[in-house]
Structure 1
Amino acid sequence: MPTDRRIVLFDLFGVIARHQRPGALAKMATRCHTPTDAFTTAYWACRPPYDAGQQSAPEYWTAVLRSLSLSVGVDSDVDTDTIEELRLSDIDSWSRVDDRMVAYAQSLRAVTEVALLSNIPSDHADAFLTAQPWLHTLDHVAFSGRIKAAKPSPAAFHHCVIAMRAAPADFLFVDDREENVRAAQAVGMNGHVFTDRDELAAAIDTWLPSRRPTWR
């Protein structure tokens, strides 16, 4: 049963934060002396366990490199220093935020609860929390690498429900990926597919009748 609470649950990348920096994967591929297309395929194919906290960063990068038929270790194709370079380059490539969306999310806290659910490895999460102190002002922050569950798994959404002591219907989940919004709706949350800030603001204004944020 829903309560009288209202919680806007934001995705991070593609909503409040920018997607991966253009050209980042090509630079990482060059560092590994491998074609960009092949590197990109391996990068994403190996990603789910890393996002869900089932692999460490070295384990993830070893899996990526081995899928490219590159050996890892002393006197091999790639050494541990290269793996650390790739890890840091990867973190940097996901480090940009949309300042206007950050300001909007913060403004909403005057009228409703605001939380975040993001697919992000735990080491990326640590870096993001250090670089973006505004995250600490939110009512709850759930990073997949820390909660051991990644969208669109129902477990990721159930974590937020339990952690916030709320009902699924109390949430409006905002994500730029329709499959994730559908997954949230399947567990009983309200959902909105993000396209731009103005459209989102209109949707939230409708969802919060008689209460309006003051960001405009």
Structure 2
Amino acid sequence: MPEAIVFDLYGVIATHQPQEAKRAIERLAGIEPGDAAGAARFWDAYWALRPAYDAGQPAAEYWRAVAGRLGVSFADPAALARADLESWTAVDEEMVALVTELAERGHRLGLLSNIVADLVPVMEERHGHWLRRFAALTYSCRIGVAKPDPRAYEICARRLGVAPSDVLFFDDNEVNVQAARAVGMSAEVFTSPGQVRRVLAACGR
């Protein structure tokens, strides 16, 4: 039976970028509406360079790297960075309610998220009422490594005061789930709040 339940943030409790927010980012990046090829190149560069940003790279360096890969110069990189942060702030209220319920039932909860440094204070200001329910918040930007690096899982477990084998982990990314299992965690690919409830019931939790 797991001693701690750990959740990924994005794609589990917080939502991925909505389409309208992505279109706004594309406009700030100088991509013309309807330029599907240009948008695809932008997002390829955005994601290819994201691991260093998640692990603590300053925002200005990240956006310079994206521009460099694309061979362009962004007109207002600060506005681009702000729009990007805003695109990552929405949450699934059903999952927030589940986190609150689990905490009130006495479960030891942890969060393990690949997240950029500038986004942490934004999320904690807007969502501190439920983020405070976690016994440990493990952010990639503050530990210098990002999932699926095995060190991220080990640090998370250590901060919770348990062995990796005592953790049940939920993430929407199969690669991250497999990495968690490789360090000894029980791990599931997240699909819904109902799935979490079913898995916990099967564990006697």
TM-score normalised to structure 2 length: 0.91
CA contact (8 A) 1:25 1:40 kept: no
Structure-2 residue corresponding to 1:37: 40
Structure-1 residue corresponding to 2:50: 47
Whole-angstrom distance in 2 between the partners of 1:29 and 1:66: 16
Whole-angstrom distance in 1 between the partners of 2:2 and 2:186: 13
Whole-angstrom distance in 2 between the partners of 1:193 and 1:176: 5
Q: Which runs of 5+ in 2 are unaligned?
A: 32-37
CA RMSD of aligned residues (A): 1.4
One of 5, 9, 15 as aligned partner of 1:8: 5
For the pair 1:86 / 2:86, whether they are aligned, the reply is no
Deviates more, 1:21-30 or 1:11-20: 21-30
For the pair 1:65 / 2:67, whether they are aligned, the reply is yes
Q: Secondary structure at the match of 1:107?
A: helix
One of 119, 125, 137 as aligned partner of 1:130: 125
For the pair 1:164 / 2:166, whether they are aligned, the reply is no
Alignment deviations for residues 131-150 of structure 1 (CA, whole Å, 9 cap, x no partner): 10121221111111111111
Alignment deviations for residues 65-97 of structure 1 (CA, whole Å, 9 cap, x no partner): 1111124xxxxxx35xx1110111001101100
CA contact (8 A) 1:7 1:112 kept: yes
CA contact (8 A) 1:10 1:117 kept: yes
Q: Which runs of 4+ in 1 moved over 6 A?
A: none
One of 66, 71, 95 as aligned partner of 1:101: 95
For the pair 1:112 / 2:107, whether they are aligned, the reply is yes
Q: CA deviation at 1:37?
A: 1.4
Structure-1 residue corresponding to 2:151: 155
Whole-angstrom distance in 1 between the partners of 2:107 and 2:21: 36
Identical residues among aligned pairs (%): 39
Whole-angstrom distance in 1 between the partners of 2:170 and 2:25: 31
Amino acid of the structure 2 residue aligned with 1:33:
G
Structure-2 residue corresponding to 1:193: 189
CA contact (8 A) 1:25 1:39 kept: no
Q: Which has the larger radius of gyration?
A: 1
Aligned residue pairs, count:
197
Alpha carbons of structure 1 residues 5 and 37: separation in structure 2 relative to 1, 3 Å: closer
For the pair 1:17 / 2:14, whether they are aligned, the reply is yes
Alignment deviations for residues 135-168 of structure 1 (CA, whole Å, 9 cap, x no partner): 1221111111111111010010011122122111
Alignment deviations for residues 29-64 of structure 1 (CA, whole Å, 9 cap, x no partner): 2222232112111111111100111x1000001111
Whole-angstrom distance in 1 between the partners of 2:21 and 2:97: 27
CA contact (8 A) 2:9 2:113 kept: yes
Alpha carbons of structure 1 residues 44 and 89: separation in structure 2 relative to 1, 3 Å: same
Alpha carbons of structure 1 residues 84 and 46: separation in structure 2 relative to 1, 3 Å: same
